[in-house]
Amino acid sequence: MHILSLRNAVYRSVTVFPSIDIEYNSVTFVTGPSGSGKSTLLRLFNGTLSPSQGQVFYCGKDIEQIDAIALRRQVLLAGQQVYLFSGSIEENFNMYYEYLGLDKPKPKAIEEYLAICQGPFASEALCDTMSGGERQRVYLAICLSFMPKVLMLDEPTSALDEQTARDVIKNIRTHCKKNEITLLVVSHDKEIVKLYADHVIELKGEEHATNC
């Protein structure tokens, strides 16, 4: 069963995606040179961009027919740019939850999600003074904690060292498989792709995309 599909989508008449299908509860990696439309693809899937031509489907339904906010909460995108508010890890969780109109997460839950993302930090730790890699893991933990149906990660390990990157992806993969979350990851790390991908979508720029 395909949870996400895209048919002949064109974005701003430059980026063309012929046909892409994402299988339910699979781990799919998106690779390709910069400018080939990897981030655009993820944004088309969660509706923060609309294709100028073509269609995008979620669970078989054209996403234009689905409430945009509801869609984004189910097809959640952790963007390339980490954004954390000024304050502690816990305050960041609370802030994001408040923005989404949700109750504060339990400290135990925060701890669990941090652990999945290889973040053995105290929840009172201040994000302002953390390193880029630490901030990236906190950000991933926040995104993961929303428990979407599809989790899309845009270069989630760009600020991490090789080993940590692998551990983080491995843990997230296990977590997603267990909770029936479909995982879609943009990554440049060939090793990680080889180790953890069920499927690979290779974007080649202007014209083609192939589903392998």
Partner 1 sequence: MQQIVELNLLQFSIVYLLLLIVLFIMKKAKIDQVKLLFVASLRMSVQLALAGLVLTYIFQNPHPLFTVSYVLVMIAFAIHRVLSKNKELNKKFKQAIALSLAISGLLIIMFFVAVIVGQSVFNPQYVIPLSGMIMGNAMTGVGLGIKTFRESTRVEQHRIDSLLNLGARPKKILLPFVNRALETALLPTLNSMVGMGIVALPGMMTGQILSGTLPMTAILYQIAIMIAICTVVCLSVFGSLYLGYKTLYNERDQINLT
Q: Which residue has the tokens 């063309």?
A: 16
Among 148, 146, 189, 156, smallest CA distance to 25 is for: 148
Is 24 or 85 the residue whose CB approaches partner 1 more closely?
A: 85
Measured from the CB of residue 85, what is the shortest distance to partner 1 in angstroms?
A: 8
Q: Which residue has the tokens 């069963």?
A: 1
Measured from the CB of residue 78, what is the shortest distance to partner 1 in angstroms?
A: 7
Instruction: Out of 18, 32, 55, 72, name the contact with partner 1 by CB under 8 A.
Output: 72
The reply to whether 83 sits near partner 1 by the rule CB under 8 A is yes
What lies within 8 Å, CB to CB, of 2 at 6+ separation is: 21, 22, 23, 24, 57, 60
The reply to whether 176 sits near partner 1 by the rule CB under 8 A is no
- 3-state secondary structure (DSSP) of residue 51: coil
Is 82 or 203 the residue whose CB approaches partner 1 more closely?
A: 82
The reply to whether 184 sits near partner 1 by the rule CB under 8 A is no
Q: Tell me how far apart the 2 most distant CA atoms of the chain are, in Å.
A: 48
Point out which residues bind partner 1 (CB under 8 A). Answer: 46-50, 64, 68-73, 76-79, 81-83, 85, 96, 99-101, 143, 146
